[in-house]
Copies of this chain bind each other. A is one copy, B any other.
């Protein structure tokens, strides 16, 4: 399939609630996942919600990695969008899973930019 990239939608359930509310830990985890998968980090934006929860994104040269956490449910949703073949989004997901733990998780994969040649 001629796709420009892949979008992995990762859900983590049963995570440690303190971890999911620790913006510094989550920032380090996403940056480590980006670097560990060979991505080039271009920018980032993280935000701590009150009373709880963190949203964060790391823009990489190969697209982006986002996370949103709901500590009150032990739940986090991450999405990993990569284009090209240099960075494997599965590797990014593996590192995030290793750092955040959780009782279980799911990953949905969506191809991005399956182009109809008549439009390009």
Contacts and interface: CB of A to CB of B under 8 A. Distances in A.
Given A11-B113, A43-B47, A66 B68 contact: no
Copies in the complex: 2
B7 A74 contact: no
Interface string A65-108: 01010101111010101010000000000000000000110001
Interface residues of A, number: 42
Contacts of A56: 59
Interface of A: 4-5, 7, 9, 11, 13-14, 42-47, 49, 55-57, 59, 61, 63-64, 66, 68, 70, 72-75, 77, 79, 81, 83, 103-104, 108, 110, 112-113, 115-116, 119-120
22 contacts: A4-B73, A4-B75, A7-B9, A7-B77, A7-B79, A9-B110, A11-B113, A42-B47, A46-B59, A49-B61, A56-B59, A57-B64, A57-B66, A63-B68, A64-B68, A68-B83, A70-B113, A73-B113, A74-B120, A75-B113, A75-B120, A79-B81
